[in-house]
Amino acid sequence: MAFVGCFAFPAGEPDRELLLGKPDGFVIMVPQNDRWSELIEECFPDARKITRYAIRKDTVFDRDKLEKTVALLPEGYELKKIDSDIYDLCVKDPVTADFVSAFGSKEKYLELGRGLVILKDGKFVSGASSYTNTAYELASDKRTH
């Protein structure tokens, strides 16, 4: 089972012991198939089930289109990289804290994470940020073994 932030992705043969060994706290389990889904429901009958739709996977990154879209931001809106100051703003609110929380610390986010936000009058309007990083996961793994 791979853990990415608050998401858990069980794979392979369904395994009750694996599911029951999940970390304490809030976890969103994303089953690989119907067999995993059924086992998750058996192990956690009180959990809320939702349907989450996949993002399109047949896309091609178009930098020119992105730059043209950014140029259309209305007056008063700012596109900003998540730097040290924006990081501090992010962690003040549970909604925006999720932009940076998967890295464990400000230093790790600034080293390994990447993100942008749109601000209007100093308040968040939108944002996009890394949610995991293999380098961070490997570094964490080395500390624990």
Q: What CATH number corresponds to the domain at position 117? A: 3.40.630.30
What is the predicted pLDDT for the residue at 143? 41
What is the predicted pLDDT for the residue at 142? 44
Question: Are 134 and 68 found together in one domain?
Answer: yes
Question: Are 16 and 67 found together in one domain?
Answer: no
Residue 88 has pLDDT above 90, yes or no: yes
Predicted confidence band of residue 55 (pLDDT cuts 50, 70, 90): low
Residue 27 within a domain: yes
> Whole-structure pTM over 0.75, yes or no?
no
Residue 50 within a domain: no
Portion of the chain with pLDDT greater than 90, in percent = 57
In sequence order, the 6+-apart residues with CB closer than 8 A to the CB of 88 are 106
What is the predicted pLDDT for the residue at 2? 87
Residue 140 has pLDDT above 70, yes or no: no
By residue range, what is the domain housing residue 26? 2-43
**Mean pLDDT on 44-67:** 83
Question: Are 95 and 131 found together in one domain?
Answer: yes
Q: What is the mean pLDDT of the chain?
A: 86
Residue 138 has pLDDT above 70, yes or no: no
